[in-house]
A and B are shown apart, each in its own frame.
Chain A
């Protein structure tokens, strides 16, 4: 099959490019991940449950999953707003706003972390306003969520944007001509079309937020049982030479990342199933 194909497309370098590409993937990514996977399997179910059952680990996992979920939800909402405005409206500074969306991709996480902390700390420009009302943002859960929204926002915007751009006006026109109000059109026509992209953006933001380290550890405060995220606890276990403890948490995060990747790949198929017959 592949040989026949190559005869029809006489392009050079299939063997060498596939070989080098796969070898590079194997050495740089798969070999390290295999080391973790084997070590995790070596723990056995009992060892894994014992390590995960630790109350400090439980608290860190709850915080990490909870904050990442909330942040992904906020990022999806704000991202939808920004994507909508950038695609649908024309206003001065629109292209600049669009360019700004990529900043969290490009800004190193440690830089974002100290900047967000300086802003939201009790003596910071924004944190001060909240400190007057005894609300803590930095060194508390809200700060963690803000850092994760910052990290996740571009994923939401950049998955929604192409879908919004190709979303035909015809369906909206049809809905309007049938007497639907703008709100009904939004609810019945636009939102269902955007749903797969919204869910993909949400999953990407969640996956990234769950493992995020650099931007969070500065703003989190890192108090065990309170503001200690799971990735930080991995590094702490490592420093204590508790490799099994570190591996147990890491394995759980890795499985969660795999689940997210699977979900992202399955979302379009699941949602479009039976909806479109004409493809």
Chain B
């Protein structure tokens, strides 16, 4: 028995080498860029960092990013809830197709997503005449940025909720119904408490991506300073103007958001391991 046990394990030296290699790879590939952002942002002291963030252009970029997120997150969360409910609790024809289509934005290049919106709303686009007649501007304006962000963050909440709801099954909801609960009562008292941590995590992933989206927004924004620049686009401009400190200062805000996402996930997995979906394979 002891012999068989030994054969099942790698020798200690190999184990240690593999651990060292994995840690080294993660440090070099993943931890170092994060450290770099924070180090470069504060290289000239917190005063310079704060000054870079209080520039009018930086503030307006931050405002636009928050404005976009404030629309995109609730919309994707609410519609995501509905879609997850339909997919997790009912069988219907075309369900597999719907599942595959929901994953599409993960596979489509953000630049291609932006191009699609140009083809819809641009000067030669499908809706060009209609928009012109009503003097509505979508491209190179806020609505385009919101639509591009909606596209790329579309699957996050559904994809987080769906496996969780499937795992939990419908027993508790059925019990609530058989005890006479109405739809809203069932949702508020049974469904929502069961999925709240998964929903929170999905919303957080959606927020991080919504505030950090670059490619799709870059195509539709028009890069008008003070008007249609989001925080990531502002970072690009500063970086291309060789203002590294200011670029990294703005980047540190988004890196901070990413860190909050990770810390919350770490905490959720430790405390409510069964309250968020077990497999996170596509983000």
In the complex formed, the residue of B with least CB distance to A39 is B119
- Measured in the bound complex, the distance between the Cα atoms of B122 and A115 in whole Å is 33
Say whether A231 faces chain B, with CB atoms less than 8 Å apart.
Answer: yes
The answer to whether A114 and B208 touch across the interface, beta carbons within 8 angstroms, is: no
Per a CB cutoff under 8 Å, which of B26, B32, B174, B212 touches A110? Answer: B212
Task: Sort chain B's interface into a size bin.
Answer: 35 or more
Say whether A279 faces chain B, with CB atoms less than 8 Å apart.
Answer: no
Per a CB cutoff under 8 Å, which of B85, B109, B283 touches A105? Answer: B283
Per a CB cutoff under 8 Å, which of B4, B104, B209, B235 touches A176? Answer: B4
The answer to whether B26 and A97 touch across the interface, beta carbons within 8 angstroms, is: yes
Say whether B248 faces chain A, with CB atoms less than 8 Å apart.
Answer: yes
Per a CB cutoff under 8 Å, which of B22, B110, B147, B214 touches A28? Answer: B147
The answer to whether A158 and B154 touch across the interface, beta carbons within 8 angstroms, is: no
Binds B, one of A6-14, A134-142, A267-275: A6-14
Per a CB cutoff under 8 Å, which of B107, B114, B125 touches A261? Answer: B107
Binds A, one of B33-41, B49-57, B192-200: B33-41
User: Which residues of B lie under 8 Å from residue A20 when comparing CB positions?
Assistant: 79, 82-83
Q: How many residues of A contact B (CB 8 A)?
A: 102
The answer to whether B83 and A9 touch across the interface, beta carbons within 8 angstroms, is: no
- Measured in the bound complex, the distance between the Cα atoms of B33 and A254 in whole Å is 30
The answer to whether B82 and A16 touch across the interface, beta carbons within 8 angstroms, is: yes
The answer to whether B36 and A32 touch across the interface, beta carbons within 8 angstroms, is: no
The answer to whether A9 and B104 touch across the interface, beta carbons within 8 angstroms, is: no
The answer to whether B119 and A153 touch across the interface, beta carbons within 8 angstroms, is: no
User: Which residues of B lie under 8 Å from residue A235 when comparing CB positions?
Assistant: 111, 114, 218-219
Per a CB cutoff under 8 Å, which of B83, B119, B124, B247 touches A25? Answer: B83
- Measured in the bound complex, the distance between the Cα atoms of B84 and A18 in whole Å is 9
Distance (whole angstroms) from the CB of A139 to the closest CB of chain B: 14
Residue-wise, chain A 95-119 has the 8 Å CB interface mask toward B (1 for contact) of 1010111111111111110111011
The answer to whether A35 and B116 touch across the interface, beta carbons within 8 angstroms, is: yes
Per a CB cutoff under 8 Å, which of A97, A150, A254 touches B108? Answer: A254
Instruction: Tell me the interface secondary structure of chain B in the complex.
Output: helix
Q: Which of A10, A21, A119, A181 has the most CB of B within 10 A?
A: A21
User: Which residues of B lie under 8 Å from residue A250 when comparing CB positions?
Assistant: 109, 111-112, 115
User: Which residues of A lie under 8 Å from residue B282 when comparing CB positions?
Assistant: 155, 204
Interface members, chain B 80-107 (any A CB < 8 Å):
82-83, 85-87, 89-93, 98, 100-107
Say whether B275 faces chain A, with CB atoms less than 8 Å apart.
Answer: no
Say whether B143 faces chain A, with CB atoms less than 8 Å apart.
Answer: no
Interface members, chain B 11-38 (any A CB < 8 Å):
15, 18-19, 21-23, 25-26, 28-34, 36-37
Say whether B67 faces chain A, with CB atoms less than 8 Å apart.
Answer: no
The answer to whether B214 and A173 touch across the interface, beta carbons within 8 angstroms, is: no
Per a CB cutoff under 8 Å, which of B22, B110, B213 touches A85? Answer: B22
Say whether B131 faces chain A, with CB atoms less than 8 Å apart.
Answer: no
The answer to whether A253 and B109 touch across the interface, beta carbons within 8 angstroms, is: yes
In the complex formed, the residue of A with least CB distance to B283 is A105
The answer to whether B208 and A115 touch across the interface, beta carbons within 8 angstroms, is: no
Say whether A193 faces chain B, with CB atoms less than 8 Å apart.
Answer: no
In the complex formed, the residue of A with least CB distance to B182 is A12
Say whether B281 faces chain A, with CB atoms less than 8 Å apart.
Answer: yes
Say whether A172 faces chain B, with CB atoms less than 8 Å apart.
Answer: yes
Say whether B145 faces chain A, with CB atoms less than 8 Å apart.
Answer: no
Per a CB cutoff under 8 Å, which of B31, B122, B244, B247 touches A100? Answer: B31
The answer to whether B30 and A101 touch across the interface, beta carbons within 8 angstroms, is: yes
- Measured in the bound complex, the distance between the Cα atoms of B251 and A228 in whole Å is 24
Per a CB cutoff under 8 Å, which of A21, A24, A101, A111 touches B26? Answer: A101
Distance (whole angstroms) from the CB of A225 to the closest CB of chain B: 19
- Measured in the bound complex, the distance between the Cα atoms of B110 and A253 in whole Å is 11
Per a CB cutoff under 8 Å, which of A5, A31, A35 touches B91? Answer: A5
Beyond A25-B83, A29-B151, A35-B116, is A106–B174 a contact (Cβ under 8 Å)? no
User: Which residues of B lie under 8 Å from residue A109 when comparing CB positions?
Assistant: 212, 214-215, 232
The answer to whether A36 and B8 touch across the interface, beta carbons within 8 angstroms, is: no
In the complex formed, the residue of A with least CB distance to B280 is A158
User: Which residues of A lie under 8 Å from residue B261 when comparing CB positions?
Assistant: 102, 106
Distance (whole angstroms) from the CB of A209 to the closest CB of chain B: 10
The answer to whether A247 and B37 touch across the interface, beta carbons within 8 angstroms, is: no
The answer to whether A108 and B254 touch across the interface, beta carbons within 8 angstroms, is: yes
The answer to whether A111 and B235 touch across the interface, beta carbons within 8 angstroms, is: yes
The answer to whether A247 and B36 touch across the interface, beta carbons within 8 angstroms, is: no
User: Which residues of B lie under 8 Å from residue A204 when comparing CB positions?
Assistant: 281-282
Beyond A35-B120, A115-B34, A234-B112, is A150–B8 a contact (Cβ under 8 Å)? no
Interface members, chain A 25-74 (any B CB < 8 Å):
25, 28-33, 35-36, 39
Say whether B113 faces chain A, with CB atoms less than 8 Å apart.
Answer: yes
Across the A-B interface, give the 9 residue pairs with the lowest CB-CB distance, nearest first.
Answer: A211-B109, A108-B212, A21-B83, A32-B116, A213-B215, A214-B214, A12-B183, A115-B33, A106-B258
11 new A-B contacts at CB < 8 Å, known A11-B174, A214-B215:
A14-B86, A82-B25, A85-B19, A97-B23, A108-B254, A108-B255, A112-B33, A115-B33, A204-B281, A214-B110, A265-B100
A-B contact pairs, 12 of them (CB 8 A): A16-B82, A30-B101, A100-B31, A102-B261, A109-B215, A110-B251, A114-B37, A114-B247, A182-B9, A204-B281, A243-B119, A250-B109
